[in-house]
Amino acid sequence: MEIPLSVIDLIHRALEEDIGPGDITTSLLIPNENKSRALYIAKENFVLAGLPFSREVFQILDPSMSFNIFYNEGAKVIKGDVVAEVLGKTRTILAGERVSLNILQRLSGIATLSSMYVDNIKGLKAKIVDTRKTTPCQRFLEKYAVRMGGGSNHRFGLFDGILIKNNHIEAVGSIKEAVKLAKGGHHLARIEVEVENLHDLNEAIEAGADIVMLDNMSVSDIKEAVKISNGRVIIEASGGIKLENVRDIAETGVDLISVGALTHSAVSVDISLKIVK
């Protein structure tokens, strides 16, 4: 996988933030020529995501460092598993330890939560998709982690998909007018409209929307919306989606279920980096 320059720059800035002008403790304790081997050890069960970026941390610090990966991205690892190792200068290992772990723990947490949502709707046609509710400047990483957990990506940003939301509709005046304007500018792009009730669903369909997002609607209304659409548009459920209710929503027959929690509420998993003899 080719890592985008924006992510490489992000890692550079994370290292600058952590190391600053130098690691005081390590420089006092560890001779420059000292070399070590360190293992990434799973301290709990989780879905793995982020090792290519953890490896990049050490490539930036010292290209001569060796980084060996033992599990594929998206693999389900068990507590006690060694998922990777890094070999080279001890000073470099200690300098990159926290940044590499922060990335790996955070992305594996997102992948793990995504996997739980995907598992909860297994056997149904709906897809779990993410949102733009991501950490600023870390969207590429976090959406990558969603995919590693078996989820799918919604639009990346404002530039790669037309999504007419309630504020757009309020500003323009109506769903019909908003869709008309959107069709006039991007004839190759699909148009998605966010609605909050069945009346607006009908208006969106009649206006020529390709996808309709049902925002914070009840399960019974979602079920009715699927019946009304009758395959004429892609139906996406959004808002208030939790692990406890995601299967009920998927059973209504929706095509997509967007879950902001995948990225804004995922808990980092527990991984240690341990120097061994």
DSSP 170: H
DSSP 252: T
Q: In the structure, what pLDDT confidence band is assigned to residue 156 with cuts at 50, 70 and 90?
A: very high
Is 10 in contact with 135 (CB distance < 8 Å)? no
Bridging pattern class, strands 76-77 and 82-89: unpaired
Question: Catalytic residue among 194, 200, 203, 236, which?
Answer: 194
The pLDDT of residue 106 is: 98
Identify the H or E element spanning 12.
Answer: helix 5-19
Residue 156 to residue 140: CA distance in whole angstroms: 8
Cβ-based neighbour number of residue 244 at 10 Å: 8
Active-site residue, 127 included: no
Q: In the structure, what pLDDT confidence band is assigned to residue 185 with cuts at 50, 70 and 90?
A: confident
Active-site residue, 183 included: no
Active-site residue, 165 included: yes
pLDDT tens readout for residues 188-217: 789 999 999 999 999 999 999 999 999 999
User: Considering only CA atoms, which of 181, 107, 179 is closest in space to residue 144?
Assistant: 107
Residue 77 to residue 128: CA distance in whole angstroms: 22
| Tokens matching residue 170 | 């309020």
The pLDDT of residue 175 is: 98
pLDDT tens readout for residues 113-124: 999 999 999 999
- Rounded to an integer, what is the distance from CA 223 to the centroid of its chain? 28
Domains of the chain, each with CATH number or no CATH = 5-118+266-276 (3.90.1170.20), 122-264 (3.20.20.70)
pLDDT tens readout for residues 134-143: 999 999 999 9
The pLDDT of residue 203 is: 98
pLDDT at 182 over 90: yes
Question: Catalytic residue among 165, 190, 223, 247, which?
Answer: 165
pLDDT at 107 over 80: yes
Residue 28 to residue 32: CA distance in whole angstroms: 10
Question: Catalytic residue among 37, 132, 133, 190, which?
Answer: 133
The pLDDT of residue 187 is: 73
Instruction: Find the mean pLDDT for residues 105-115.
Output: 98
pLDDT tens readout for residues 43-59: 999 999 999 999 999 99
3-state secondary structure of 29: helix
Active-site residue, 98 included: yes
Instruction: Find the mean pLDDT for residues 88-101.
Output: 98
pLDDT tens readout for residues 31-42: 999 999 999 999
Question: Catalytic residue among 23, 215, 236, 255, which?
Answer: 215
Question: Catalytic residue among 98, 155, 176, 190, which?
Answer: 98
Is 45 in contact with 76 (CB distance < 8 Å)? yes
Residue 132's Cβ-side half-sphere holds a number of Cα atoms within 13 Å equal to 8
pLDDT tens readout for residues 211-264: 999 999 999 999 999 999 999 999 999 999 999 999 999 999 999 999 999 999
pTM of the model: 0.96
Q: In the structure, what pLDDT confidence band is assigned to residue 1 with cuts at 50, 70 and 90?
A: confident
The per-residue pLDDT of the chain, averaged, comes to 97
- At residue 49, what is the residue type? A
Active-site residue, 133 included: yes
Residue 174's Cβ-side half-sphere holds a number of Cα atoms within 13 Å equal to 8
